[in-house]
Amino acid sequence: MGVRIDSRTVLVSGAVALAVSLATLVAYAIVNAIVSFDRDSNWPFAFYVVILLGMALGGRLAGRARPDAPLAHGSLAALGAMGVIAVISVVIDVALRNDIVDNVVKLVAQIPVPVAVSAFSAYMASRSAIA
Rounded to whole angstroms, the Cα distance separating 109 from 119 reads: 17
**Residue 2 in domain:** no
Per-position pLDDT tens, the chain of length 131 = 688 999 999 999 999 999 999 999 999 999 999 998 888 889 889 999 999 999 999 999 999 999 999 999 999 999 999 999 999 999 998 999 888 888 888 888 999 999 999 999 999 999 986 65
pLDDT for the residue 102: 84
Q: How many domains does the chain have?
A: 1
Q: Does 36 fall in a domain?
A: yes
Spatial contact of 8 and 66, defined as CB atoms under 8 Å apart: no
Residue-number span of the structural domain to which 55 is assigned: 7-130
Note the helical H segments in 36-69.
Answer: 43-65
Q: Is residue 77 part of a domain?
A: yes
What pLDDT, on the 0 to 100 scale, is given for residue 1?
Answer: 62
